[in-house]
């Protein structure tokens, strides 16, 4: 073999070796793919996804599938270049920069914990929205989640306290409590009436100046609902807020006579507020693929996701626009009875 041929052979081998080594180098991307689906009027692990106690329920049929997105990668388990390249070639998945999922100052564990909290809040909001749609009254209180170490509330307000009033004025939501504190000048005292255990007590806390010169005491609060009956939602390891709409529909279907789906296989997504407003979500393309794979023929789509969804909707999946819980129920009624309008997604 000539020296020239040997040189070319060695150079080719070196390029191949470097290419193989490079393919397995970690890259700062995350692969998003269709995740598992769950029927909110069905069962998971032989337990109802939605279990209602203390109120009459009714038979259901068909399915109301919540859809999810699975991901590979992240700060603790980076994907390699080869995995990213395969993702870029697969039309059913998305490859996105790592920071779009994990902020630079957040760990994977922190993101998972936040998703768990968001799922819990979503379930409460979904229940509240369903009860509002049915005009079933319920109570809401402001609960203390934690206090900030070193701030005046630390050691005075306790986790689990329910705030009844501030300075003698009833407070029904988190915003009202925060506004009542902000009405003070830093250094002034504010009095909270709280329920702690079985007792109602007054707790006086001195205020201090916080970020943006706002008056604070250093307390983290969360709306807590007191529903007239128990609604228990079981979805295993699923996290995040995007199943809110489907939870609300599942609760409504169980609490009302007749079958909301008409026996159809329906999937959907969207956050939900207690007032029944449906919000946009991420990963719509992957969620539609998951819906189609689960057998769904109809996909309830948040209005703000419609334009994006239309670009990659799978064949055989009908997109129905969902602006509110009420409009989603009306759309399902129209689909079931063939009477009335069914709002469709339109390009923005």
Catalytic residue chosen out of the listed positions 122, 125, 254, 287: 287
CA–CA gap between residue 77 and residue 75 (Å, rounded):
6
Phi and psi at residue 249, to the nearest 5°: -65, -40
CA–CA gap between residue 75 and residue 256 (Å, rounded):
45
CA–CA gap between residue 45 and residue 141 (Å, rounded):
33
Catalytic site includes residue 242 = yes
Give me the residues paired with residue 319 across strands: 299
CA 279 → CA 8, 13, 69, 127, 274, distances in Å? 59, 54, 17, 16, 12
CA 325 → CA 7, 234, 254, 283, 335, distances in Å? 70, 21, 15, 21, 15
CA–CA gap between residue 288 and residue 313 (Å, rounded):
7
CA 311 → CA 64, 90, 288, 348, distances in Å? 24, 16, 11, 11
Catalytic residue chosen out of the listed positions 63, 122, 242, 294: 242
Residues forming the active site = 242, 287
């Amino acid at each position: 073999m000539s020296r020239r041929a040997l040189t070319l052979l060695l150079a080719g081998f070196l390029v191949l070796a470097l290419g193989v080594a490079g393919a397995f180098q970690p890259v700062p991307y995350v692969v998003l793919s269709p995740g598992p689906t769950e029927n909110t009027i069905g069962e998971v692990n032989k337990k109802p996804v939605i279990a209602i106690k203390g109120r009459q329920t009714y038979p259901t049929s068909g399915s109301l599938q919540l859809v999810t997105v699975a991901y590979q990668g992240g700060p603790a388990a980076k994907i390699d270049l080869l995995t990213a390249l395969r993702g870029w070639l697969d039309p059913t998945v998305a490859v996105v920069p790592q920071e779009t999922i994990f902020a630079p100052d957040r760990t994977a564990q922190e993101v998972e914990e936040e998703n768990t909290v968001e799922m819990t809040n979503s379930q409460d909001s979904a229940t509240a929205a369903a009860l509002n749609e049915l005009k079933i009254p319920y109570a809401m209180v402001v609960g203390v989640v934690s206090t900030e170490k070193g701030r005046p509330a630390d050691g005075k307000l306790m986790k689990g306290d329910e705030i009844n009033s501030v300075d003698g004025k009833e407070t029904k939501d988190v915003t009202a409590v925060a506004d009542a504190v902000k009405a003070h000048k830093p250094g002034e005292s504010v009095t909270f009436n709280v329920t702690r255990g079985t007792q109602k007590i007054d707790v006086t806390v001195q205020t201090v100046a916080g970020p943006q010169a706002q008056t604070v005491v250093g307390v983290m609060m969360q709306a807590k609902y007191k529903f007239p009956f128990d609604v228990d939602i079981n979805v295993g390891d699923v996290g995040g807020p995007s199943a809110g709409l489907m939870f609300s529909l599942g609760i409504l279907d169980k609490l009302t006579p007749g079958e909301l789906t008409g026996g159809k296989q329906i999937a959907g997504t969207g956050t939900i507020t207690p007032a029944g407003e449906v919000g946009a979500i991420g990963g719509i393309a992957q969620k539609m693929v998951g819906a189609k794979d689960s057998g769904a023929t109809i996909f309830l789509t948040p209005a703000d996701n419609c334009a994006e969804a239309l670009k990659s909707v799978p064949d055989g999946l009908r997109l129905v626009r969902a602006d509110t819980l009420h409009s989603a129920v009306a759309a399902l009624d129209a689909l079931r009875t063939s009477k009335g309008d069914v709002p469709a997604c339109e390009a923005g």
